[in-house]
Structure 1
Amino acid sequence: MKSKKLQGHMAVMTANIIFGFGVPVTALLLKEWVSPMVYMLTRCVGAAAIFWLISLFLPSEHVERRDLVVICCGGLLGFVISQTLAAWALVFTSPVYFSIIASLTPVATMLMAALFIGERINFTRSIAVILATAGALLMIFTHWHGGTGRHDLLGISFGMLSLITWAFYLLITRQVSARYSAVTQMKWIFLASSIAVLPIAWGELDTQKLYSAAWQWDGVAEMAFIVVFATVAGYVAIPFAMRYIRATSVSIYTNLQPIVASVVAILIHQDILTWDKPVALILVLLSAWLVTRTER
């Protein structure tokens, strides 16, 4: 069992490193190639096709109707709604600020676990909430009158809503994740997501640069990275990890994302290093460490 737990930790760690790279790559795609909804449609359809193809070579799993509803509804919440909000957040704010907001996921998961499944919040966890809130407010007030993005306050708000829906997804699917393989879950999640997004994004498809005569290989490569790695590989790793470790523990690894995303974004000149970024990051990471300590 210890080896399975280790595999779970390694899987979720790898997924969040990939997600960290995916933040600046997504920002590039949204800036040059696609709208947020066409970006989501490409991810959904591409991932659905890959997962259903993989499932043909694996043993078939029967999914109970009740569990299928949870899987599909959880996927709509944790992927379609959460990732659409994330895409809009990256339209308005920088990858660094979005990634720091994503680091609040362990705290959001803890609060929602207390609200919906009755987990107790002790003194240490209360301090963690205060520190995380302070880090978020620092970014908001520092850039109230404008920052590195088009509208940082609006982008940060979308980012907060994105992480809340992701935390809720972790909680409502934690039991179902233990009963079915990651591929079985993901093929249904992305099929449902494709059906939900297609009517909304279809009208925009022929106006997107990536799907016109002006397409270039760098745009295709960026989109392929998002579909294959930041969607298929990442979303296989999360339910696999949840079979062996707790939802709060899974959410803690989100703190790898701002470190990876911030370094990459600054290196490729998507953002600049200002004093509030490392201070906010330290406060948020410290809050996550306190949550981790209580988890242990």
Structure 2
Amino acid sequence: MKNKKLEANLSMAVSKVFSGLNMNALKYLLPLWMSPLTGATLRCTFAAAAFWVIGWFMPPEKSSAKDKWLLFLLGALGLYGFMFLYLAGLSKTTPVSSSIFTSLQPIWVFLMMIFFYKEKATTKKIIGISIGLIGALVCILTQQSDDLASDAFTGNMLCLLSSVVYAVYLILSQRILTAIGAITMLRYTFSGAAVSAIIVTFITGFDAPVFSMPFHWAPFLILMFVLIFPTIISYMLLPVGLKYLKTTVVAIYGYLILIVATIASLALGQDRFSWTQTFAIIFICIGVYLVEVAESKER
């Protein structure tokens, strides 16, 4: 069991580090080297193909036709919606701000569980949710548009909406995941997302100067990093951590996204130090921690 826990901790750490760096890599690519719509299409189709190939080398997993169709629809609406909204938002704001709203996902999950699934609203949860939302409001209302964020308010709102959509996706997919395997889920959700992405791209057009001539190696290699590490490897590592670690430990690893994205953004010049952003990060971290601790104690 100790080896399994060590493996789970390493899996979560690597997954979240990749997720943090993903924001900086995408910020470099968007919108100069590819549009948000095209970026979502590339990620969804590449991941769908990769997970089908990986699944051929994995033990077969039992699942019903109904589950597969539900996963497909969930990917077509939820997963694709999340990726498009997130990429569109990131193209207009900074990686640090986008990571702030990504960290709000546990709060949205618990709010939905309270309103739609009649989960108990404890005092600690209410306090945690309130503190987290204050941090989000500070980030939305105080960040100004500049050379690093072309339309900070719109970008932040899109990232906020993407985190809500992803929370819905998490709740629904978790209920299906109890009856099927992780690879089956990844196969069909990303297949659904890929179909939606291809249809939208067919209508709007494929906009990716990264593939145009003369060929540019730097943006191409950064795109390959996004497609392989945060998209494929990160999603493959998550189930390992979720299986052997407590909810609170998983939540704490989520803070790595904020930390990595902040350090990388400041080092690469993709963001500037801001006391209001720091205030927002601290409040959201405290809020998510309180919510996760309350949930862990209930379980």
Corresponding letter in the other structure for 1:278:
T
Q: Is the 8 A contact 1:102 1:255 kept in 2?
A: no
Taking structure 1 as the reference length, the TM-score comes to 0.90
Match in the other structure for 2:105: 105
- Structure 1 gap ranges (5+): none
User: Cα deviation per residue 1:97-116 (whole Å; 9 max; x = unaligned)?
Assistant: 11111111121111111122
Does residue 125 (structure 1) correspond to residue 125 (structure 2)? The answer is yes
Does residue 146 (structure 1) correspond to residue 145 (structure 2)? The answer is yes
SS in structure 1 opposite 2:287? Answer: helix
CA distance in 2 between counterparts of 1:173 and 1:208 reads 31
User: Cα deviation per residue 1:68-103 (whole Å; 9 max; x = unaligned)?
Assistant: 133223323442111111001111111111111111
Relative distance call for 1:173 and 1:243 in structure 2 (3 A) is farther
The count of aligned residue pairs is 295
Question: More deviation in 232-241 or 190-199?
Answer: 232-241
CA distance in 1 between counterparts of 2:213 and 2:270 reads 26
SS in structure 2 opposite 1:179? Answer: coil
After TM superposition, give the deviation of residue 168 of structure 1 in Å.
1.1
Question: More deviation in 255-264 or 230-239?
Answer: 230-239
Does residue 50 (structure 1) correspond to residue 47 (structure 2)? The answer is no
Match in the other structure for 2:184: 184
Corresponding letter in the other structure for 2:155:
G
Relative distance call for 1:13 and 1:168 in structure 2 (3 A) is farther
Q: Is the 8 A contact 1:182 1:240 kept in 2?
A: no
Relative distance call for 1:236 and 1:180 in structure 2 (3 A) is farther
Match in the other structure for 1:14: 14
CA distance in 2 between counterparts of 1:39 and 1:255 reads 25
Relative distance call for 1:37 and 1:189 in structure 2 (3 A) is same
After TM superposition, give the deviation of residue 196 of structure 1 in Å.
1.2
After TM superposition, give the deviation of residue 162 of structure 1 in Å.
0.6
Q: Is the 8 A contact 1:88 1:155 kept in 2?
A: yes
Match in the other structure for 1:60: 60
CA distance in 2 between counterparts of 1:271 and 1:197 reads 30
Q: Is the 8 A contact 1:18 1:230 kept in 2?
A: yes
Corresponding letter in the other structure for 2:115:
L
Q: How does 1:213-292 map to 2 (within 5 A)?
A: 213-243=213-243, 250=250, 253-292=253-292
CA distance in 2 between counterparts of 1:19 and 1:79 reads 16
Q: Is the 8 A contact 1:47 1:232 kept in 2?
A: yes
After TM superposition, give the deviation of residue 6 of structure 1 in Å.
6.4
Q: Is the 8 A contact 2:251 2:289 kept in 1?
A: no
Question: More deviation in 32-41 or 208-217?
Answer: 208-217
RMSD: 2.4
Relative distance call for 1:247 and 1:77 in structure 2 (3 A) is farther
Does residue 91 (structure 1) correspond to residue 94 (structure 2)? The answer is no
CA distance in 1 between counterparts of 2:155 and 2:253 reads 22
Match in the other structure for 2:38: 38
CA distance in 2 between counterparts of 1:127 and 1:110 reads 12
After TM superposition, give the deviation of residue 238 of structure 1 in Å.
3.2
Taking structure 2 as the reference length, the TM-score comes to 0.89
Question: More deviation in 169-178 or 196-205?
Answer: 196-205
